[in-house]
Chain A
Amino acid sequence: MMLNPLSQPQLEEIHGFTLEILQKTGVKFEHEEALRILGDAGCDVDAEKQLVRFPPALVEECIRRVPSSFSLRGVERPHDLQLGGARVTFSSGTAVDILDTRTGERRAPTLRDALDFIRVIDGLDRIHHIFVPFGVLADKPKEVAFEWQTALTFRHAKKSVGHGVAFPGCAKWQIEMADVVGAQMIAGAGAVPPLSYSFAMADAILRFSRTKHCVSVSQAIACGATGPVTLAGTLIQGNAEIMAGITLSQIVSPGNPNMYCSYTAPLDMRTGGMAVGAVESAILGAAVGQITRFYRIPGRTLFPQVNAMLPDQQSGIERAIQLIMTALGGISIICFAGQIDDEKTMCFEQLLIDHELAGMVARVMEGIDFSGAARAVDLIHEVGPVPGNFLVKSHTRDNWKKEHVLPALFNRATFEQWYAEGAKDIVAVARERAEQLLAEPVPESRLPKDMDDELTRILAAVEREKGPAG
């Protein structure tokens, strides 16, 4: 099942206006080498203004070079990540703080919290990919938090294709670690709207593209502040920003995997804050998905996100609407599970509820099987009017698991059963499940000793170079 909020002529207009913006106004790159590379490839470069104007033919050629589907190597082969095509996959999210399951407090996370998230996510079969869970750790120097968590993911997770980050000084170490374990990363690098790339982002595009990691190029417009307030204008400007980054990536590494990533929400006109939980983000999610299908470039979103502070009804409604719309748009990987309050808090209860939601949405995407066996016309003739009973037919037993998804967490009991079991709401049920999972013993590193030692050596080198926290 797919959702198409845009018409074919509208998609073509988005493409046409994108080429016009890239050629006429251009995009700023605060990176000398990127300017030189783009100039050599035929762009009109104003070195003083750091402004690049793109010939339409070059942009179109680079878009054609992006593979429409690809597989990224995981640490363990069966967990390679297939991206592109009709299948939607889900990833965990990332945040600053943790909502402590045991105390209910919101606090700074530790390395142990990061490990707990990684091992719990690794055990959830409807979440396919692990994001570096936290921005900073309370018990590690701030400058090395990403490298420590990258190492933890490689050591403890089966399904870890790493996540690269475009922060200064991070990329080179993450690439070294990925080389040790033989995994490919999805490296996020985004335009700074409107129509600019900072040094760090341009540098990440060059570095990760050259080392054959997947570069996910994102737009992160705040509608009404860093882009037009209108959804159509946001889609057009965002498309121009992404295509400028993809062009740079494909010039330095033709045919290398790229993803088309959206990270866009309206500005709340009362406060100036980001209305990440807004329903407009859901419409944009569907439209961006459709655009990625138009270009045959696998799509990624760092949405759904919510403005809710707790895994409550607001959180459930904000994320469910965005998730279903984004998935139906045709996005290939949706990074969201476990995060609440914008990208500020990770929450185990939410993670387990999101696991449930991912299962429901994956089922929606499968749509309706209309094959002969599924139409079951012969069976309808056979069973006929009342007192016919389909439950006693082998067709039911053979097909129900293909047609129905069972909840992993949600309640379908009667009132009496539910009351007898403590009358718990779903957050309390999720909390109990989280406590069970967290009580399980922490596994040792899954890596062979030589690889593990190599990661230890790299972490020591990172700490030597970056020094203690300032």
Chain B
Amino acid sequence: MTLEAGTILDALKKAVIECSEPEAVAAARLALESGLDPLVAIEQGLAVGLKEVGEAFARGDVFLPDIVMSGETMKAASAILEAELKDRPPGEGRRVRTAVVGTVRNDIHDIGKSLVALLLSCSGWKVVDLGTDTSAQQFVDAVLVSQAQMVGLSSLLTTTAPEMGRTIAALKERGLREQVAVMVGGGAITQTYAEQIGADAYGVDASDAVRKANILVVAP
């Protein structure tokens, strides 16, 4: 690695840690101009910065707004770098874990689920967010299309919690249950309930969900 490449990677990392989108974007452009491999720029620059922020968050040194803004900064710079990766043959692009998340049918509560989606992105996941009031079939379809390794189901209401069990059954029926880990969470959910319906994990809150997701599906 040339000294210049090292300097650019440091700049990418620092921009993510400091949530500075203009600096991240400038460093990404510089990376491309100086012929640095975009994949290296993402994985050894931006992602390293985000990982440090994630570790500081786990220690309680930084807070949700910090990690979310670091994620946004990384997204902006990644967009520039990933545009250069489009034409690479499959398998040579960035390898990421994919999660499908959504609030189950008849439930429109959004906060917890959206936070999990944000934190998963920050933790390096590709996230397919199906929004709220999502049917079992929509979850199944999304897993098929995205080839996700994890499904996150959210329900605040006690009346809609049984939909989680139905979604797990639908994944089984389509033969997808073995390929995805299922995480559940939300106001109406407890560890016992998660075990009863055959989920792999229960996320107490957004941070806990991401911690458990990273154990269930190890980064490539």
Contacts and interface: CB of A to CB of B under 8 A. Distances in A.
Interface of A: 96-97, 135-136, 142-143, 145-146, 167-168, 192, 198-201, 222, 224-226, 229, 267, 269-274, 342-344, 469-470
A225 B108 contact: no
B158 A145 contact: yes
Contacts of B190: 97
A337 to B, nearest CB: 20
Contacts of B162: 142, 469-470
B112 A198 contact: no
> Which of B157, B159, B208 has most A Cβ within 10 Å?
B159
A8 B194 CA distance: 50
Nearest to B189: A96
Given A270-B207, A273-B205, A225 B111 contact: yes
Given A271-B206, A272-B64, A344-B187, A96 B158 contact: yes
30 contacts: A96-B158, A135-B157, A135-B158, A135-B188, A136-B161, A136-B188, A142-B158, A142-B159, A143-B159, A146-B159, A167-B106, A192-B108, A198-B132, A199-B133, A200-B106, A222-B111, A224-B65, A225-B111, A225-B115, A226-B110, A267-B64, A270-B60, A270-B64, A270-B207, A271-B206, A272-B64, A272-B112, A272-B206, A274-B111, A342-B187
Contact of B159 (A136, A229, A273, A274): A136
A94 B45 CA distance: 49
B165 interface: yes
A198 B207 contact: no
Contacts of A226: 110-111
Contact of B65 (A136, A198, A269): A269
Given A224-B65, A343-B187, A271 B207 contact: yes
Give the top 6 A-B pairs by smallest Cβ distance, nearest first. Answer: A135-B158, A272-B206, A198-B108, A269-B63, A136-B158, A272-B115
Q: How large is the interface on B (under 10, 10 to 19, 20 to 34, 35 or more residues)?
A: 20 to 34
Contacts of A145: 158-159
Nearest to A273: B205
Nearest to A167: B159
A238 B166 CA distance: 35
Contacts of A274: 111
Nearest to B108: A198
A231 to B, nearest CB: 16
B134 interface: no
Contacts of B188: 96, 135-136
A200 B187 contact: no
A271 B158 contact: no
Contacts of A222: 111
A189 to B, nearest CB: 12
Interface string B113-124: 011100100000
